[in-house]
Amino acid sequence: MSQYLTGFELLEKAIAHHDPNGNWDTFKGTFTVSMESPKGDKRISSIAIDLPASKFKLTTNKEGKLIEQTMLNGNCLLTLNGNADISDADKAAHNISCERTKKMKDYYTYLYGLPMKLKDPGTIIESRAETKTFKNKEYLRLKVTYTQEVGTDTWYFYFDPRTYTMEIYQFFHDESKNDGEYIILSGVEIISGIKMPKTRAWYYNKNDQYLGTDVLDKNTN
């Protein structure tokens, strides 16, 4: 099947499946992500993304500390328990900074905006889709790299060949070293008309070591 699909054709089919009404460019939604690691750590984060307003807000509540980190039109607002006057000690203790807020904005917008985000400037789509087997299942695989100013990692995206559902993504910092991670996607949560993976389980490429799982829930309030 892959011999008849270019990389761009596969991407278009995947986007048509995940965002059938073309809602991503005007996405406005809130959701909760619960993250657990093998160590027993658990973190619950509430994320609000409003692309037309260029707004991102991350709210976390850990050990009785309510942390809100907001990016609005490139400006940063940080509060701890509702107070914007945060001591350097608290910033260090709770990893609160504008740099981290921007990083979290880019992280959540990228991963939950896939595969639509693969049309962003600086993204290099491999010309041909390939048929590859991963964990005993055959997929259509898309290879993606980036221009130097955007990023240096190599990414692979695995799509079901019948439905074009994105079921795995994988990245390498240096593929020759088999570093980086792969992420198994399962379930679906529909938010603002977009089919997002409900559960993501993370593993190291080099040894299949399990790193953790995060679960997406649509906010009902």
Q: With beta carbons less than 8 A apart as the criterion, state whether 95 and 88 touch.
A: no
- What ranges in 117-207 are assigned the alpha helix state H? none
Residue 83 within any structural domain of the chain:
yes
Of residues 89 and 218, the one with the higher pLDDT is: 89
Q: Tell me, what's the pLDDT at 43?
A: 85
Same domain, 16 and 101: no
pLDDT greater than 60 at residue 221:
no
Same domain, 128 and 212: yes
Q: Tell me, what's the pLDDT at 1?
A: 44
Q: Tell me, what's the pLDDT at 219?
A: 74
Q: Tell me, what's the pLDDT at 2?
A: 43
Same domain, 151 and 65: no
Last residue of a domain, one of 68, 90, 112: 112
Residue 70 within any structural domain of the chain:
yes
Same domain, 65 and 141: no
Q: Tell me, what's the pLDDT at 70?
A: 98
Same domain, 148 and 208: yes
* Rounded-to-integer distance, Cα 118 and Cα 29, Å: 20
Residue 73 within any structural domain of the chain:
yes
Residue 50 within any structural domain of the chain:
yes
List, for residues 153-175, the tens digit of each pLDDT value.
999 999 999 999 999 999 999 99
Last residue of a domain, one of 112, 145, 177: 112
Torsion angles phi and psi, residue 110, rounded to 5: -70, -55
Same domain, 108 and 89: yes
Chain-wide mean pLDDT for the chain? 94
Of residues 94 and 63, the one with the higher pLDDT is: 94
**Number of folded domains in the chain?**
2
> Please, what's the b/e burial string for 35-55 (b: 16 or more CB within 10 A of its CB; e: otherwise)?
eeeeeeeeeebbbbbebeeee
Torsion angles phi and psi, residue 116, rounded to 5: -60, -35
Q: Which domain holds residue 105?
A: 28-112
Of the pLDDT bands very low, low, confident and very high (cuts 50, 70, 90), residue 4 is: confident
Q: Tell me, what's the pLDDT at 220?
A: 55
Residue 221 within any structural domain of the chain:
no
Same domain, 82 and 155: no
Last residue of a domain, one of 53, 85, 112: 112
Same domain, 135 and 169: yes
Q: With beta carbons less than 8 A apart as the criterion, state whether 212 and 37 touch.
A: yes
Residue 160 within any structural domain of the chain:
yes
List, for residues 21-77, the tens digit of each pLDDT value.
999 999 999 999 999 999 887 889 999 999 999 999 999 987 788 999 999 999 999
Residue 36 within any structural domain of the chain:
yes
Same domain, 54 and 93: yes
